[in-house]
Structure 1
Amino acid sequence: MRLSIFLEVLMGAIVMARTIEEKEELRRVYHYERIVHGKPRERWALYTLRLSLGDGFQVKRVRYREDQAEHRPDLRIYRAGRWVADVEVSGSNISLERLAREGVRVLPSKLAYARSHDPVRYIYLYVLSENIRYLRDCVLWAPGRELLRALDKGLAKELVGDVGHGVVERYHVFPLDVFNREWYELVSYVLWLAGELADPNPWALANFMCR
């Protein structure tokens, strides 16, 4: 089971639970999974982005409210006080090889947020927790625009599954090749959004020419 998907679905399940006992049990499980697995991934992304982007950028957490209507992202990036990008942090402890076989699950509510706001400035970041110790193949990431484009082209499958505790959710399952795998490419993409690079491709000739 992907812990991140389990964690995300529990938020909706708390609202849908029929009894007080069900709600309390779901809240307890959600709190445990978020503290043990979700928060460490979010902190890793937060502080690694701060170090990678350097002075002049601010990376802040987006406060979560249980009753919020939208699936708001976890992090927000600013440059000199101006909003640059939103980052949704997800992830799991499973291997890259398994993701290559099964695909990456994304909740529709996350893509709905990207579509209704600015999909170019929405970044979906998937952290492979087991690979952080090696500092290799640690992340998958994609702009919301690319995920929506793949979805609209029919490249994503739809899956309805039980993630445990009787919680059933619908997912969009994307092939691995929709995602980028290099951290430095993510940093370059943010720098491009901030107007500090001429091209989001870090190796593009335009980035090495006088501006």
Structure 2
Amino acid sequence: MSIRHSLLALLQDQPMYGYQLRAEFEERTGATWPLNIGQVYTTLDRLERDGLAVKEGDDGDGHVIYRITAAGQTEVNNWFAAPVVASNPPRNELAIKLALALTLEGVDVSAIVQAQRTASMRTLQSYTHQRRQSADPAQGQPQDVAWILVLDSLIFTTEAEIRWLDHCEGWMRQHRSAAKPRPRKDSAPSAAEEERVAK
């Protein structure tokens, strides 16, 4: 997630100080990705250093107000115009856990899949419930289109995880023999192995 670009995007709305930026970010994204206030101020310092934002006095209560510059506006426009490319896929703890579990003795991979599926189903139900409430005009609140969009993303991601778990389970049933634990290796190679490698 680009905090740098997110803060710049908010500053194009109006000049703000750090706590306002954090509150605006969390409100507009449903507090799904909470920001640390120290991280916000560190990012603001870097934006100022790079000429993308400038300090514009304070609000009278000691809060330093930041304003976006023309260069910062160009940066935001370029960010919105460019697609998000995952050149280095983020680490997926669940995929790593299953990959390791398949190669180790004494680990019940099916139990891991079942536990994760149960947790993911609960998460999906929670997101779906929040989505229904957010989109229901009878709740008496205006629809928060940005939050609904974030919820839809979370729902689709969780649904994809559940489908992937189903795929893993089916794949493991078909390839039980190929998913045997690797034989243990001694930390030091034997003299015969060293001689073989040397040849």
Give the TM bin, normalised by the shorter chain.
Answer: under 0.3
The answer to which structure has the higher strand fraction is: 1
**Higher helix share goes to which structure?**
2
Larger Rg: 2
TM-score, length-normalised on structure 2?
0.21
